[in-house]
Amino acid sequence: MIEYKHQFRVAYPDTDKMGTVHHSVYPKYYEIARWELFRSIGISYKLIEDRGYMIPVLGMNFKFIKTTHYDELLTVVTTLKSVKGVRLVFSYQLYNENNELINEAETDLAFVVASTWKPCAVPDFVLHAIQQHSRKQVLSVSN
């Protein structure tokens, strides 16, 4: 599968009164990391929308392991785990500056036609980019 590392600093508005990153911010972090993975293989979300598709999130799972604070440098390791029919599954591991795992997550998304919101197979231009950049010989692609 494809793996991508994205680094960023925790912004002040991402923290709560306890001084830690609020749990509601993690989906934003992972969405940014997911689109940076796509951008790294030559596909922007704008391109997907321009071609008439959207990719809504169907589900998210998180495991909170450690807290993190304002101005810490974090690294998200995003992995495209599978492509099956209309669905894409991503996993995320979030590390702090000491390379300690602080959060794990998984998201399940589906391609839909923008004009109808009807599910559709992953478009060929997306599959092609994924297959070209996959670290494995055979990508887990099935219908």
Is the model's pLDDT at 71 over the cut of 90? yes
User: Using one digit for the tens of pLDDT, what is the confidence trace for 101-132?
Assistant: 999 999 999 999 999 999 999 999 999 999 99
Amino acid 1: pLDDT: 82
High-pLDDT (> 70) share of the chain, %: 94
Tell me how far apart the alpha carbons of residues 128 and 126 are, in angstroms, rounded to a whole number: 5
Residue type, 41: I
Estimate to the nearest angstrom the gap between the alpha carbon of 36 and the chain centroid: 8
Q: What are phi and psi of 22, to 5 degrees?
A: -70, 145
C-alpha distance across the termini of the chain, in Å: 17
Pick the CATH number of 2-138 from 3.40.366.30, 3.40.1190.20, 3.30.420.40, 3.10.129.10: 3.10.129.10
High-pLDDT (> 90) share of the chain, %: 92
Provide the pLDDT confidence category of residue 142 given band limits of 50, 70 and 90: very low
Tell me how far apart the alpha carbons of residues 37 and 5 are, in angstroms, rounded to a whole number: 8
Tell me how far apart the alpha carbons of residues 112 and 55 are, in angstroms, rounded to a whole number: 6
